[in-house]
Structure 1
Amino acid sequence: MLRTRLRLPRPPPSSIQRYSHYKPLPTPPNLSIIETPEDSQKARSWISQFKQSPIPRKSVELSFSASSGPGGQHVNRTNSKATLRCSLDSGWIPPWAKQTLSKSPQYVASTASLLITSSFSRSQLQNVNDCLSKLHDLILSAASSTLKNETPVEQKKHVAKLEDIAKQRRRKEKSHRSDLKRSRGKASGGAWD
């Protein structure tokens, strides 16, 4: 009895992409420095899109090695430690965050890239996901660190009101002190002479 396997035709590449669970990463605006409120708005828009987008494995360079630590003989036999390398020249990394990223401990100057490792799990896949999560958090914090938070209008009004009250109090204290000194300087009827 001869067994044959039924082979189905492969779907075209376009339908594979359509059903992929990873969306392409958002392209950041070409801003090297954030100066105007419009620049801040563009950067905030990119950050909100990036928060929703996981970093796909194909966007980074991954390598694996033997991990150390607990796990028994399994650790010595498998390459479960994940090492992720991501070039700072990648198009999806915002230009305004590159200076902050270049000062981070994960930055490797010789290759102008970020190097992130993970060996917290015995599973290679979990370590890869941990590396991708660390990279995502690192880029988000670097992109957000250069943004200045906008002060709400109510808070601006409240601060201005407090400043006016402080000025009035200071003027009142100065005039009181001035009156006190002026009253000391005048000699009345029974003065010391």
Structure 2
Amino acid sequence: MFLTRLIPRPTGFTWSTEAKVRVAFWSAYKGPSREEEEQIKQKRKWLAEFIPESIPRKNCDLVFSRASGPGGQNVNKVNSKVTLRLNLSTKGDFIPPYILEEVLKKSKYRTKNDEIVIQSDSSRKQAENIEDCYRKLYTSIRECIQVPGETSEDTKKRIEKLEKAGKEKRLREKKVDSAKKTSRKGGRGEY
């Protein structure tokens, strides 16, 4: 196995599956660099301040048309369907560049021209459909951004408790192994 080549093992020693997994994980794990940590802090700060009302309405182009589907004569008379377009390359300046990259990669409403196009005709009222489009734009941007969460105090305490229990278990196992070896040598015990 690859781990036996990485870490020399004493004779008579066998790797448990748990130990192999731990060694592989921690040898491969590299924490975030200082730049990445700073960028994560900036993302958290921007997300905390980002609310639906913070999207500049002047940056979005709205097009109104007649809705389809049931609705009787209202569908034929009123332009209640709303199509919102946001050109990310020219009018996406309210989004920081490090977040704009993620939105361009992950948005489900993105077109080939780096635009986000959202439609709404769920209501008979044009104003409600406009708000629905902005709500969809807001949630679309939020869904694209992946920020690792901060570890809560409860989680930190639980991890410390598990680590302590793991150390105690390892020491108990070592004592049991030591007692076995001592009993094999002819019964010389500790005095």
TM-score by length of 2: 0.66
Q: In the alignment, is residue 53 of structure 1 matched against residue 53 of structure 2?
A: yes
Are residues 56 and 82 of structure 1, via their aligned partners in 2, closer, same or farther at CA, if it must alter by over 3 Å?
same
**Equivalent residue, structure 1, for 2:114:** 112
**Equivalent residue, structure 2, for 1:39:** 39
Q: In the alignment, is residue 75 of structure 1 matched against residue 75 of structure 2?
A: yes
Task: Tell me, in whole angstroms, the C-alpha distance in 2 between the residues paired with 1:78 and 1:97.
Answer: 37
Larger radius of gyration: 1
Gaps of 5+ in 1: 1-33, 189-193
> Which residue, 134, 138, 141 being the options, matches 2:140?
138
CA drift of 1:48 comes to: 2.3
CA drift of 1:167 comes to: 2.0
CA drift of 1:65 comes to: 1.8
Task: Tell me, in whole angstroms, the C-alpha distance in 1 between the residues paired with 2:135 and 2:100.
Answer: 18
Which structure has the highest helix share of the two? 2
Q: Which runs of 4+ in 1 moved over 4 A?
A: 180-183, 185-188
Paired amino acid for 1:97: I
**Equivalent residue, structure 1, for 2:96:** 94
* SS of residue paired to 2:122: coil
- What do residues 74-113 of structure 1 show as CA deviations (whole Å, max 9, x unaligned)? 112322111111122210123222333232221102x111
**Equivalent residue, structure 2, for 1:175:** 175
CA drift of 1:52 comes to: 6.7
* Alpha-carbon contact 1:84-1:117 (below 8 Å) kept: yes
Gaps of 5+ in 2: 1-34
TM-score by length of 1: 0.65
**Equivalent residue, structure 1, for 2:126:** 124
* Alpha-carbon contact 1:107-1:113 (below 8 Å) kept: yes
Identity of aligned residues (%): 39
Are residues 53 and 126 of structure 1, via their aligned partners in 2, closer, same or farther at CA, if it must alter by over 3 Å?
closer
- What do residues 18-45 of structure 1 show as CA deviations (whole Å, max 9, x unaligned)? xxxxxxxxxxxxxxxx712x43333322
Kindly indicate whether structure 1 or structure 2 has the higher relative contact order, using CA contacts under 8 Å at least 6 residues apart: 1
* Alpha-carbon contact 1:54-1:136 (below 8 Å) kept: no
Are residues 39 and 88 of structure 1, via their aligned partners in 2, closer, same or farther at CA, if it must alter by over 3 Å?
same
